[in-house]
Structure 1
């Protein structure tokens, strides 16, 4: 239940991001800037809260490399299957989701959130409490994802009630994934935990390049790079405080 609770906190920003867009629709430029900030946050979380920890926990680099490759390939294959079923534009803010399939979009949204939630739950292993830096990274990165996707889904004609069901369901699945991560890794070895961290890092990096960064680059404009660095620095600062 502790893992479930922290997973719920981290993923609750999906509902908050959706609500913000529903109350006050944002321009695509603003959504792009928020996506750039979220991308920087996740890149920093991957580097300092996943890859670095995984590297420190293992003597050989093969565990890290194997985890990164497995995570990237797993997400790539899953995302490819979902794209072919109509979920390719699930995070677009332009309304391209109108040409897709609702079920595939929902599955893709869940796929995007599972790796970070499992790792969030795994940070509780050992009784040291949840990683504040990773929790903040998950919360802050979910916000722009939900804002961009909600803006596009609204333009595509999706009703508000269906959107709340989509994000509410994704929030619950992410919370369950965090609980499962804590339960499954509670008695696991350091090498196994490191492998899971590296797996999540590979999946998250693949997701970033596939869904978030293209949206940021297209709509944020030249300042998007600066905002991405700001997000990176913010998450790095949180990791130092949390450490």
Structure 2
């Protein structure tokens, strides 16, 4: 829930402070880099060491395809620009609050399950993965709240929506820890890989395109900086 709470924080800032689009794009780019690094080193590499190559390959492909199909369905119903704060988000938010909420859950559930799995892995909570989730949620809450505000949604609707998503994300993390407690290493590796495939597909399908669209000049640099920060966190530096 704490990782998903940045959705609510972002929405609050959208109502209290007028932030330029480049600032949300910069946060999103930095979050992309952290998320890519956390997926590669905290999920795929650790999963490979625990379960071998086959569970990683099969799980990552399954997660990627499942996310791509679900994202296509959500996008077709008005949730495509859920991470955008420009005119596209403002027009897409007309009547598409449910699609935005479902899209946010689609992004957040794999992340939350992974957090639950890191708790039962014996290595403690992954700081890099937590940071990636927190930072990737913040611009989504901020930009989507801006769009929904322009579409005439009330503050109660916006904050209620993100609060529910934060609670459901926390429940997903709890489920990941509770249901997979004591599971075989190969199964844990497969679940991590499914989440990794979904998260990487989410980054490529939604986060990077929106970051580049809003401010492409420094997107690549900030992604690299985020990746290096997460790499340092993963290695205890």
Q: Does TM-score exceed 0.5, indicating one fold?
A: yes
**8 Å contact 1:35–1:148 — kept in the other structure?**
no
Contact 1:87 1:97 in 2 (8 A): yes
8 Å Cα contact 1:40-1:231 kept in structure 2: yes
Equivalenced residue count is 234
Indicate the residue corresponding to 1:151 in structure 2. Answer: 146
- In the aligned structure 2, how far is the partner of 1:126 from the partner of 1:73? 26
* Counterpart mapping for 1:40-51 below 5 A: 40-51=33-44
1:155 & 1:218 partners in 2: Cα distance?
20
Counterparts of 1:151 and 1:169 in 2: how far apart (Å)? 18
Instruction: Give per-residue Cα distances to partners, 1:165-211, cap 9 Å, x unaligned.
Output: 11101100100000000011102100011001100010001111111
Question: How far did 1:140 drift?
Answer: 2.1
User: Partners of 1:34 and 1:126 in 2: how far apart?
Assistant: 29
- TM-score norm. by structure 2 comes to 0.93
Partner of residue 3, structure 1:
none
Q: 2:8 aligns with which of 4, 7, 15?
A: 15
- Correspondence for 1:62: 54
Gaps of 5+ in 2: none
**Correspondences of 1:163-182 after superposition (within 5 Å):** 163-182=158-177
Cα separation, 2, equivalents of 1:238 and 1:153: 35
CA RMSD of aligned residues (A): 1.5
Deviates most, 137-146 or 39-48: 137-146
In 2, Cα distance between equivalents of 1:144 and 1:98 = 16
> Cα–Cα, structure 1 residues 110 and 161, in superposed 2: closer, same or farther, change >3 Å?
same
What is the match of residue 199 of structure 2? 204
Go from structure 1 to structure 2 and tell me whether the alpha carbon gap of 1:234 and 1:96 turns closer, same or farther (over 3 Å shift). Answer: farther
Q: TM-score, normalised by structure 1?
A: 0.91
Q: How does 1:49-128 map to 2 (within 5 A)?
A: 49-59=42-52, 61-94=53-86, 95-99=90-94, 101-128=96-123
